[in-house]
Amino acid sequence: MKQLIVFNFAGINGKGISMEIIKIVLLAIALVTLAVFGLATKILLKKGGQFPNTHVGGNKFLKRNGVYCAQTQDKIEQNKVKKKINYKNLTFLQGK
Protein backbone atom coordinates (compact mmCIF):
# COMPACT_ATOMS: atom_id res chain seq x y z
CA MET A 1 0.00 0.00 0.00
CA LYS A 2 1.46 3.32 -1.06
CA GLN A 3 1.07 6.32 1.16
CA LEU A 4 0.70 9.73 -0.36
CA ILE A 5 2.53 12.53 1.42
CA VAL A 6 0.83 15.86 0.93
CA PHE A 7 2.44 19.13 1.94
CA ASN A 8 -0.02 21.76 2.99
CA PHE A 9 1.23 25.24 2.23
CA ALA A 10 -1.90 26.87 3.48
CA GLY A 11 -1.12 29.65 5.91
CA ILE A 12 -2.60 30.23 9.33
CA ASN A 13 -5.98 31.20 7.89
CA GLY A 14 -5.86 28.71 4.99
CA LYS A 15 -5.28 31.52 2.46
CA GLY A 16 -1.87 30.37 1.18
CA ILE A 17 1.47 31.64 2.45
CA SER A 18 0.63 34.21 5.05
CA MET A 19 1.86 37.78 4.99
CA GLU A 20 3.67 37.29 8.32
CA ILE A 21 5.94 34.64 6.81
CA ILE A 22 6.73 36.87 3.83
CA LYS A 23 7.58 39.74 6.20
CA ILE A 24 9.91 37.51 8.24
CA VAL A 25 11.72 36.24 5.12
CA LEU A 26 12.17 39.78 3.77
CA LEU A 27 13.41 40.98 7.17
CA ALA A 28 15.94 38.12 7.31
CA ILE A 29 17.20 38.95 3.81
CA ALA A 30 17.53 42.62 4.75
CA LEU A 31 19.48 41.78 7.93
CA VAL A 32 21.88 39.46 6.09
CA THR A 33 22.44 42.11 3.42
CA LEU A 34 23.10 44.73 6.09
CA ALA A 35 25.59 42.42 7.84
CA VAL A 36 27.49 41.71 4.60
CA PHE A 37 27.79 45.41 3.79
CA GLY A 38 28.78 46.15 7.38
CA LEU A 39 31.61 43.62 7.22
CA ALA A 40 32.74 44.81 3.79
CA THR A 41 32.69 48.55 4.57
CA LYS A 42 36.47 48.79 4.95
CA ILE A 43 37.03 46.90 1.74
CA LEU A 44 34.50 48.91 -0.26
CA LEU A 45 35.42 52.40 0.97
CA LYS A 46 39.21 52.14 1.37
CA LYS A 47 41.27 52.50 -1.79
CA GLY A 48 43.03 49.20 -2.43
CA GLY A 49 41.17 47.65 0.51
CA GLN A 50 41.27 43.89 0.91
CA PHE A 51 40.46 41.19 3.42
CA PRO A 52 43.06 40.79 6.19
CA ASN A 53 45.61 38.03 5.66
CA THR A 54 44.94 35.52 8.43
CA HIS A 55 47.22 32.84 6.96
CA VAL A 56 50.16 31.68 9.06
CA GLY A 57 52.56 32.85 6.36
CA GLY A 58 51.20 36.40 6.59
CA ASN A 59 52.06 36.78 10.29
CA LYS A 60 55.34 38.73 10.67
CA PHE A 61 55.92 37.57 14.26
CA LEU A 62 55.70 33.90 13.28
CA LYS A 63 57.99 34.47 10.28
CA ARG A 64 60.65 36.00 12.54
CA ASN A 65 60.49 32.92 14.75
CA GLY A 66 60.77 30.54 11.78
CA VAL A 67 57.18 29.26 11.92
CA TYR A 68 55.57 28.62 8.54
CA CYS A 69 52.45 26.88 7.31
CA ALA A 70 52.66 23.14 6.64
CA GLN A 71 52.93 23.54 2.86
CA THR A 72 55.74 26.09 3.06
CA GLN A 73 57.56 24.01 5.69
CA ASP A 74 57.29 20.96 3.41
CA LYS A 75 58.67 22.86 0.39
CA ILE A 76 61.62 24.11 2.45
CA GLU A 77 62.46 20.59 3.64
CA GLN A 78 62.14 19.13 0.12
CA ASN A 79 64.51 21.77 -1.25
CA LYS A 80 67.05 20.94 1.48
CA VAL A 81 66.98 17.26 0.47
CA LYS A 82 67.31 18.09 -3.24
CA LYS A 83 70.45 20.13 -2.54
CA LYS A 84 72.05 17.25 -0.60
CA ILE A 85 71.57 14.64 -3.34
CA ASN A 86 73.95 14.77 -6.31
CA TYR A 87 71.95 13.41 -9.23
CA LYS A 88 74.85 13.52 -11.72
CA ASN A 89 76.83 10.71 -10.09
CA LEU A 90 73.91 8.40 -9.48
CA THR A 91 74.29 4.73 -10.37
CA PHE A 92 71.60 2.08 -10.54
CA LEU A 93 72.03 -1.39 -9.09
CA GLN A 94 70.75 -4.23 -11.18
CA GLY A 95 69.00 -7.16 -9.54
CA LYS A 96 70.40 -10.70 -9.61
d(CA 39, CA 51): 10
d(CA 86, CA 88): 6
Q: In which band, very low, low, confident or very high, does the pLDDT at 72 lie, cut at 50, 70 and 90?
A: confident
Q: What is the pTM of this model?
A: 0.38
What is the residue-averaged pLDDT of the chain? 78
DSSP 24-90: HHHHHHHHHHHHHHHHTHHHHHSTT------SGGG-HHHHHTT---HHHHHHHHHHHHHHH--STT-
d(CA 52, CA 65): 21
Residue 45 pLDDT greater than 60, yes or no: yes
Q: Would you state the pLDDT for residue 28?
A: 97
